[in-house]
Amino acid sequence: MSVYVRVQEKGQVTIPTRLRRKFNLKKGDTVMFVETKDGVLIKPAEVIVSEALANIGEALRAEGITLEDWIEKSREFRAKMLREEYGFKEEDLKEER
The structural domains of the chain, with segments of one domain joined by +, span: 66-97
5 confidence band (pLDDT: 50, 70, 90): very high
Tell me what pLDDT residue 20 has.
Answer: 93
pLDDT of residue 67: 83
pLDDT for residue 95: 54
> What is the end-to-end Cα distance of the chain in Å, rounded?
53
Does this model's pTM top 0.75?
no
Q: In angstroms, rounded to a whole number, what is the distance separating the alpha carbons of residues 81 and 75?
A: 10
The tens digit of pLDDT for each residue in 44-96 reads 878 878 888 888 888 888 989 888 888 888 888 988 888 888 888 877 676 55
Residues 6+ apart with CB under 8 A from 70: 60
